[in-house]
Amino acid sequence: MAHHAPQTAHVAVVTGAAQGLGQVIAERLHAAGYCVAIADIHLEAAQSLASQLDGSGATAVAIKLDVREKVDFETALDSLRARWGGVHVLVNNAAVTLHTPVMQISPDEFSSVLDTNLRGNLLGCQVFGSHFGACGYGRIINLASLAGQNGGTAAGAHYASSKAGILVLTKIFAKELAGRGVTVNAIAPGPIDLPAVRASVPAEKLQHIIDHVIPVHQLGDPRFIADTVVHLASPQAGFVTGAAWDINGGIFMR
């Protein structure tokens, strides 16, 4: 049985959307015609972006959401259904990125990164995936990483492990929801040209990575990654599920 998008399939929620890649994703989805919920643990920053996108609040709203809390996802879903009549796209983007050397990662630090990055992904897929499945339509896009495939170029072991887990969760939820009109895909970026990357990797090391580690000798463009999210979120993307789209400059090839 074919599942078709409702005529108003235009509401997207992006976690960790107040800054960085999440912000770019939210901006590109909004530019593509989506009503966008900027979900973030930092509400004021989310509100600032929402007002930039649409000062009237008609097509952009900020939601305080801690991805470690299932109830936060449930509350977000309820409020968006009340506001816009439904939700059709979830982008699981929120993540903690730490670079602690592997031998120095404490048990608590390891657990805390996994709780945000991996458990947060699970909870988002559970709550929104159940709703999408019940409606017979939905798109979930998970932000994985090159780090989850080969250990990455500068990532901490806890970050890389969480992103590897996201790749597997993507397949599991894709199988679970495939018969109900819901696709679940991952995007696995390599090093991206973002302020956070330049802030966390020393300039000399970053230049070395560009010159000697990335075969195409450039960092990834966050706008292209965001446009790939928009592509996978479209109603026409119904034949893509359980996939991980590699955008890594040729560092990792299957």
Residue 34 annotated among the catalytic residues of the structure = no
**What is the C-alpha separation between 245 and 203, in angstroms, rounded?**
28
Burial of 58 (0-12, 13-18, 19+ CB in 10 A): exposed
Tally of residues, the chain:
254
Q: Tokens for 169, please give them.
A: 């969760």
Whether residue 95 contacts residue 15, with contact meaning beta carbons closer than 8 Å, is answered with no
Catalytic hit among 159, 192, 225, 251 = 159
Q: Is 183 helix (H, G, I), strand (E, B) or coil?
A: strand
Q: Beta strand 89-92 with 138-143: parallel, antiparallel or unpaired?
A: parallel
> Could you tell me whether strands 244-247 and 182-189 are parallel, antiparallel, or unpaired per DSSP bridges?
parallel
The answer to whether residues 244 and 174 touch, using CB atoms and an 8 Å cutoff, is no
The encoded tokens of residue 237 equal 């993307």
Catalytic sites, residue numbers:
159
